[in-house]
Amino acid sequence: MDSRLSGRIAVITGASSGLGKATAIRFANSGARVVCSDLKSVGVEDEINKQHGKDRATFFECNVGVESDIEALITHAATWGGRVDIMCNYAGIAAETAHGIAHGAAPRCHDFPTSGFDQTMTINCRGVWLCCKYALKQMLAQEPREANARGERTRGWIINAASMLGLVGLANTPAYTTSKHAVVGMTKQMAIDYAQDRIHINALAPGFVKSPMIQTYLDDPGTETALAASHPWNALGRPEDVADAALFLASDEAAWISGHSLVIDGAYTCQ
């Protein structure tokens, strides 16, 4: 445990599993109070409160495909915590996985349903954009935090979940790869617009991580071995690997970093 995020209020979408759950726990262990958000609670907030004491975490149901849900989430967080210091946009889907299971083959663009593309862009891109929008409104309205080592008073930190597939392509992911490239682009654009307000806006670009999003691949030992071997590190990532990277980007150690996509991929994109 450490105190790098002591006193800060963090909002995390997709917090009920995988990268979001690991980040919620990591942030709480580093002193933050955490708003865990997802379609349903699996008790992450209770786990945090049991370890750190009452009122360290709360849950708020939110579908990032619904704008009013996102606005209500930020309002709740600001009311519960008094402000919003950190926004982690982790909620996402990989529609190609479900399509491949249903049809017995991974899709290419010509045989992937337009509805799957629209759903992917709604959650992975529009949802991130809207979470940024309402978090930014709140951060601009609140007083900046105390000065850091650079003598600057930061208004907030936004961390978007991109992917290594926001930097490179991968076969049979026509919607997912598109959505993650969009997240990398919006992160860069927003970082420029809000640098003057001292709001850090960065992204995470993980490789294949052992999480529910790729569980169907993990269920097949041969496929899991092949996925691990596709990374020069010859191992899959852990949600905790991504959570530790998020902690760095949300801390004062990243005081002069904005607009960056931090790659956590066991050297996959070096190939």
pLDDT tens, residue by residue, 96-108: 987 776 677 789 9
pLDDT beneath 70: ranges in the chain: 1, 101-102
Q: What is the pLDDT of residue 101?
A: 66
This prediction's pTM: 0.95
Question: What are the structural domain ranges in the chain?
Answer: 9-270
pLDDT tens, residue by residue, 107-142: 999 999 999 999 999 999 999 999 999 999 999 999
Q: What is the pLDDT of residue 214?
A: 84
Domain made up of 9-270: CATH architecture: 3-Layer(aba) Sandwich (3.40)
User: Is 217 in the active site?
Assistant: no
Q: Measuring CA to CA, how many Å separate 224 from each of 35, 190, 209?
A: 33, 36, 11
Which positions ≥6 away from 187 have C-beta within 8 Å? 160, 162, 201, 202, 203, 259, 261
CA atoms of 261 and 182, how far apart (whole Å): 12
CA atoms of 105 and 221, how far apart (whole Å): 18
Q: What is the pLDDT of residue 251?
A: 97
Q: Choose, from 90, 134, 176, 268, the residue flagged as catalytic.
A: 176
